[in-house]
Amino acid sequence: MTIHDSSETPPAGTPTTGAPRADILGDEEALRLRGDFPALHQSVNGHPLVYLDSGATSQKPSVVLDAERRYLETTNAAVHRGAHSLAAAATELYEDARVTVADFVGARDDEIVWTSNATEGLNLIAYAFSNASAGRGGEAAERFRLGAGDEIVITEAEHHSNLVPWQELAFRTGATLRFVPVDDEGVITAEAAAAVIGERTRLVAFTHVSNVTGAISPVADLVRMAHAVGALVVLDACQSAPHLPLDLDALDVDFAVFSGHKMLAPTGIGALYGRRELLNTMPPFLTGGSMITTVTMEKSEYLPAPQRFEAGTQRVSQVIALAEAVRYLRAVGMDGIAAHERSLGERLLAGLADIRGVRVLGPLDADRRTGLAAIDVEGVHAHDVGQYLDDRGIAARVGHHCAQPLHRRLGVTASTRASTYLYNTTADVDAFLEGVAGVRSFFGEA
Amino acid sequence: MGSPELANLYQQVILDHSKRKKGFGLAEGGAAESHQLNPTCGDEITLRLHLAADDTIERISWEGAGCSISMASASLLSELVPGLTRSEARERIALFRELMRSKGEGVEDDEPLGDAAALEGVSRYVARVKCAMLGWVAFEDTLSLSS
Ligand SMILES: Cc1ncc(COP(=O)(O)O)c(C=O)c1O
């Protein structure tokens, strides 16, 4: 399944190389894959672990852990510094990883900048705009300059990581922050966006897939509206890159971010995608070693992208591990993963609809969302729901999932979220449903 | 339905207090007010301290929203404090904090905590200790603010 939207823009394709398998992976295959994930084989509170919190962070297969360890045991060296054999080998692995990851998301390798996580990527963009607004970057950086009268547009569905950095950018530059309100289902619509994006809009930042509702955004519509007024588009791909075939080039966004830890890689590694001509004219955020050409005591010249955004000694082992994770995902096939999660999501929605006193946040149509569901249980706080589930070995996320405005809009302060991935089965979904079905009576509500 | 540990966490007295909250609803006046928020889950409590003429605690009144543990804990606190002197109140808070930090071990004598001792089960769940402490931290804050 390729995820894009209904407008006439060409569909986002599958990755450009390799041979992704198109068949749906089913329970049997998911169970087989589960054998690759050591953390999934344990008991929690006397029950076999049912891990339904991959939306927060995924578990890691042995091949990824092994790749990181192997690199550290055999090759470890600083990259882009020094000429000894290990340094050369490390640099090659590091840059090969960039090609692998770029290819996976439909980008060219010099359009991928390593970051610690998506949050850092978003801050990198915001600070680059800020630095340009303070006059850095010369004439070439004109399009990143913001001031009074300019507008930054985000949406009400954003994760705090795609919200707070823009608030701060607006405060620093005098630009105005506006948001696209979501509809009653918590969904970003093209109509609502059309009412907000206008002549003054300089930047539009929004999520591809909501981490609360799983709703898939009308990317092509928003991109078209933004580009029509000359605004740049930032896509938060945190919840799409791990779960759906992604082609950033076809989606025609200007920037995108994602985090490795949500896609089978370790923490501490993420990526920023930026169109080449933008990255090469954007002033840097973090500055220091490894991102310069010439340094005098007065001033410095910077390398082209991506190096100009990778100051300081880099997180090489995590980069190597992320490339291994991407190879793993590719070997399984993103189409199959997406189809599998969609069917788990459908089962989740259908099952939840049958439980009294449970409200699913977001659209109720499985076609419009990924394989996750956040719920409100009438009369029982999410923390208590989560505690009850944990007692049965079920790991679900409770709280506001770093999306307070969206929760507020949907009339709740917190929710309980089950999110699936390639290693989950219908049995996991059923365990969750059975758990949820028992919650209200346990807490004396039914 | 749940494990013995879960049943111990959610004892009937706790579930009762979470539904029929004592001291709920902010009363007029008061010597001090404190607002406490648990940012990880959004639990929130606003609590007012009402003092008698002799500076003992007449009662507390509060409002807020949150999980059953945070609500029950504030309710149980409301039952416990009327008539206490400031120093007795501080002793109770210290004892409750010790109980919450006991990791399921309990304290030697939890008698001074009255029914609030039923929250002992919370101490096994490190992530929930903050929930149980929310109202008590607000209460402690009002004691400082009013002295
Ligand atoms: C939609 C979305 N955006 C941004 C983030 C932030 O990712 P990270 O914390 O890895 O930077 C997350 C994950 O928590 C997310 O789900």
Taking CB atoms and an 8 Å limit, are B128 and A444 in contact across chains? Answer: no
- Answer yes or no: do A343 and A322 share one domain: no
Q: Two tokens at B26?
A: 């902010």
Looking at residue A344, its pLDDT comes to 97
- Domain boundary pick from A282, A306, A330: A330
Taking CB atoms and an 8 Å limit, are A381 and B42 in contact across chains? Answer: no
Q: Two tokens at A35?
A: 């054998």
Q: Is the dihedral of CA A127, A130, A135, A138 positive or negative?
A: positive
Instruction: Please determine, for residue B1, whether its predicted confidence score (pLDDT) is greater than 90.
Output: no
**A398, A441, A442 member nearest B41 (Cβ):** A398
Instruction: Please determine, for residue B73, whether its predicted confidence score (pLDDT) is greater than 90.
Output: yes
Beta carbons of A129 and A169 less than 8 angstroms apart: yes
Q: Domain with B93 in it: what CATH number?
A: 3.90.1010.10
Looking at residue B39, its pLDDT comes to 82
Q: Using CA atoms, how far apart are residues A232 and A128, in angstroms rounded to an integer?
A: 13
- Answer yes or no: do A48 and A88 share one domain: no
Residues in a beta bridge with B59:
B50
Looking at residue A14, its pLDDT comes to 35
Query: Which residue's CA lies nearest to atom 15 of ligand 1?
Result: A238
Beta carbons of A115 and A122 less than 8 angstroms apart: no
- Answer yes or no: do A290 and A373 share one domain: no
CA–chain centroid gap for A180, Å, is 20
> Which residue from A68, A62, A66, A61 is spatially nearest to A90, judged by alpha carbons?
A68
Q: Quote the minimal CA–CA distance from B15 to chain A in Å.
A: 7
Q: In this structure, what are the phi and psi dihedrals at residue B110, rounded to the nearest 5 degrees?
A: -100, 5
Looking at residue B42, its pLDDT comes to 79
At B6, the pLDDT band (50, 70, 90 cuts) reads very high
Looking at residue A82, its pLDDT comes to 80
CA angle A394, A397, A399 (to 5 degrees): 140
- Beta-strand (E) ranges in B52-130? 57-65
> What does the CA dihedral A431, A435, A437, A441 come to, rounded to 10 degrees?
160
Taking the CB of residue B135, how many other CB atoms lie within 10 A of it? 28
CA of A119 to the centre of ligand 1 (A): 7
Chain A environment of B69 (Cβ under 8 Å): 383-384
Q: Domain with A162 in it: what CATH number?
A: 3.40.640.10
* B44: closest chain A residue by CA: A413
Q: Using CA atoms, how far apart are residues B28 and B50, in angstroms rounded to an integer?
A: 9
Is residue A402 part of the annotated active site? The answer reads: yes
Q: Using CA atoms, how far apart are residues A205 and A194, in angstroms rounded to an integer?
A: 14
Taking CB atoms and an 8 Å limit, are A444 and B19 in contact across chains? Answer: yes
> Which residue from B123, B127, B78 is spatially nearest to B104, judged by alpha carbons?
B123
Chain B environment of A442 (Cβ under 8 Å): 1-2, 10
Burial class (CB in 10 A: 0-12, 13-18, 19+), A235: buried
**Domain carrying residue B88:** 4-145
Q: Domain with A376 in it: what CATH number?
A: 3.90.1150.10
- Answer yes or no: do A96 and A172 share one domain: yes
CA of A33 to the centre of ligand 1 (A): 25
Beta carbons of B27 and B50 less than 8 angstroms apart: yes
**Could you identify the residue written with the tokens 């605004």?**
A231
Burial class (CB in 10 A: 0-12, 13-18, 19+), A46: exposed
- Domain boundary pick from A283, A303, A330: A330
Q: Quote the minimal CA–CA distance from B129 to chain A in Å.
A: 12
Instruction: Please determine, for residue B2, whether its predicted confidence score (pLDDT) is greater than 90.
Output: no
- Domain boundary pick from A279, A306, A330: A330
Looking at residue A6, its pLDDT comes to 37
Beta carbons of B98 and B117 less than 8 angstroms apart: no
- Answer yes or no: do A12 and A111 share one domain: no
Portion of chain B with pLDDT greater than 70, in percent:
99
**DSSP run (H or E) holding B137:** helix B126-146
Q: Is the dihedral of CA A418, A420, A423, A428 positive or negative?
A: positive
CA of A212 to the centre of ligand 1 (A): 11
**A391, A398, A399 member nearest B6 (Cβ):** A391
**B5, B6, B66 member nearest A381 (Cβ):** B66
- Answer yes or no: do A26 and A129 share one domain: no
What does the mean pLDDT of chain B come to?
95
Looking at residue B20, its pLDDT comes to 95
- Answer yes or no: do A197 and A303 share one domain: yes
Q: Two tokens at B4?
A: 């013995």
Determine which of A53, A377, A380, A387 to mutate to test the interface with B (most B C-beta atoms within 10 Å). Answer: A387
Q: In this structure, what are the phi and psi dihedrals at residue A81, rounded to the nearest 5 degrees?
A: -145, 130
**Domain carrying residue A428:** 3-60+333-442
> Which residue from A205, A231, A207 is spatially nearest to A217, judged by alpha carbons?
A207
- Answer yes or no: do A166 and A44 share one domain: no
- Answer yes or no: do A393 and A266 share one domain: no
Residues in a beta bridge with A403:
none
**A45, A391, A399 member nearest B41 (Cβ):** A399
- Residues lining ligand 1, CB < 6 A? A 117-119, 159, 161-162, 207, 211, 236, 238-239, 259, 402
- Answer yes or no: do A274 and A390 share one domain: no
CA angle A35, A41, A46 (to 5 degrees): 155
* A434: closest chain B residue by CA: B1
Residues in a beta bridge with A43:
A48
- Answer yes or no: do A31 and A121 share one domain: no
Note the maximum CA span of chain B: 50
Those residues whose C-beta lies under 8 Å from the C-beta of residue A437, and which sit 6 or more positions away, are: A355
Q: Quote the minimal CA–CA distance from A408 to chain B in Å.
A: 11
How many domains are there within chain B?
Answer: 1
Q: Using CA atoms, how far apart are residues B69 and A78, in angstroms rounded to an integer?
A: 50
Question: ipTM beyond 0.95?
Answer: no
DSSP A345-409: HHHHHHHHHTSTTEEE-S-S-GGGB-SEEEEEETTB-HHHHHHHHHHTTEE-EEE-TT-HHHHHH
- What are B20-56's pLDDT values in tens digits? 999 999 999 999 999 999 887 778 999 999 999 999 9
Taking CB atoms and an 8 Å limit, are A383 and B43 in contact across chains? Answer: yes
Catalytic residue among A321, A402, A414, A429: A402
> Which residue from A155, A165, A255, A149 is spatially nearest to A195, judged by alpha carbons?
A155
Taking CB atoms and an 8 Å limit, are B1 and A438 in contact across chains? Answer: yes
- Answer yes or no: do A293 and A430 share one domain: no
Q: What is the DSSP letter of A139?
A: G
DSSP A231-288: -EEEEE-TTTTTTS---HHHHT-SEEEEEGGGTTSPTT-EEEEE-HHHHTTSPPSS-S
Ligand 1 atom at shortest distance from the alpha carbon of A401: 14
Q: Two tokens at A358?
A: 């449970």
- What are B88-106's pLDDT values in tens digits? 999 999 999 999 999 999 9
Q: Two tokens at A56?
A: 């927060």
How many domains are there within chain A?
Answer: 2
Beta carbons of A429 and A373 less than 8 angstroms apart: no
pLDDT by residue for chain A (446 residues), tens digit each? Answer: 344 343 333 333 333 334 444 467 899 999 999 999 999 999 999 999 999 999 999 999 999 999 999 999 999 999 998 889 999 999 999 999 999 999 999 999 999 999 999 999 999 999 999 999 999 999 999 999 999 999 999 999 999 999 999 999 999 999 999 999 999 999 999 999 999 999 999 999 999 999 999 999 999 999 999 999 999 999 999 999 999 999 999 999 999 999 999 999 999 999 999 999 999 999 999 999 999 999 999 999 999 999 999 999 999 999 999 999 999 999 999 999 999 999 999 999 999 999 999 999 999 999 999 999 999 999 999 999 999 999 999 999 999 999 999 999 999 999 999 999 999 999 999 999 999 999 999 999 87
Taking CB atoms and an 8 Å limit, are B67 and A382 in contact across chains? Answer: yes
